């Protein structure tokens, strides 16, 4: 009878180890999946910011051009006036 218990105990140990390994694998797969999802979301956020950053850069450049254009226009006007 004790041989049956030893075989049963070994079988149970193998099952416990297999279940534990399966649980660890599932946890790893979920963790990697979540990390990948976070990475893709971060990439999407960065891509969404690009047009905003470019637009802000264009606005700043337009303001600089406008400022320099207004200053330059006054100098040209003064140069054309007689006197």
How many whole angstroms separate alpha carbon 75 and alpha carbon 70? Answer: 9
CA angle 35, 41, 45 (to 5 degrees): 145
Q: What is the pLDDT of residues 13-67, one digit of tens each?
A: 888 999 999 999 999 999 999 999 898 888 888 887 777 777 777 888 888 888 8
Distances (CA, A) of 83 to 32, 55, 71, 79: 78, 44, 20, 9
Short-list 18, 38, 37, 36, CA closest to 26: 18
> The whole model's pTM is what?
0.46
Q: Where are the alpha helices (DSSP H) in the chain?
A: 2-80
């Amino acid at each position: 009878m004790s041989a049956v218990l030893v075989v049963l105990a070994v079988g149970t140990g193998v099952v416990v180890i297999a279940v534990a390994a399966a649980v660890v694998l599932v946890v790893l797969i979920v963790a990697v999946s979540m990390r990948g999802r976070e990475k893709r979301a971060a990439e999407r956020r960065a891509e969404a910011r690009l047009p905003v950053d470019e637009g802000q850069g264009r606005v700043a450049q337009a303001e600089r051009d406008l400022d320099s254009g207004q200053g330059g226009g006054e100098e040209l006007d003064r140069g054309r006036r007689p006197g």
